[in-house]
Every structure is written in structure tokens, then in C-alpha cells.
Amino acid sequence: MHSGSAYMISRATFPGYFLKEKGVVDDCHCQIDLQLFREHLAPALGITHRFVGSEPFCPLTCAYKPANARHFARSEA
């Protein structure tokens, strides 16, 4: 049980509230997405491969693809 007031949020689920640098926030969101997919969605749905497209005009999407590759390479090691 956590005491709170009218509004309580977690750094883990809403890092953007606590982190003011946009690049850090984007990286946190990316890591949360990758971890949720790897640890929960993929096993529950029997997913063994993940394909990520490319979006040359979106810096966040451009950063997501290599982060995805690094994250899943770590899980296979």
C-alpha cells in the first residue's frame, strides 16, 4: 500500500512526468515498450519474431529500431 493524494503516479509507468529531457523520456518509453513486449506480450501470444519498419522522418522511430535489436540481442545472450 502506498499513501498518496488525489493523484499518484509511478516513475516506471510515466517517466515523462519526472524526466524533463525529451531524449531521456523517449528512451524510457522505448525501453518500457521493449521490456513489456519481450517479457509479457511475446510469451503470452507465442511470438518468436518481431519486425520493425523504418520511418526516416521520425527521430523516435529511427532510434527505436536499433534499440529493439540491442534489447533482443541481450535477451538471447
DSSP letters, 19-41, are: ---HHHHHHHHHHHHHHHIIIII
pLDDT of residue 20: 66
**50 — pLDDT class (breaks 50, 70, 90):** confident
Q: Average pLDDT, stretch 22-35?
A: 77
> Which pLDDT does position 2 carry in this prediction?
52
| Measured CA distances, 77 to 44, 72, 74 (Å) | 21, 9, 5
Instruction: Taking residues 14-20, report their average pLDDT.
Output: 62
User: In this structure, what is the dihedral angle of CA atoms 29, 32, 69, 50, given to the nearest 10 degrees?
Assistant: -110
Over range 38-62, report the average pLDDT.
Answer: 82
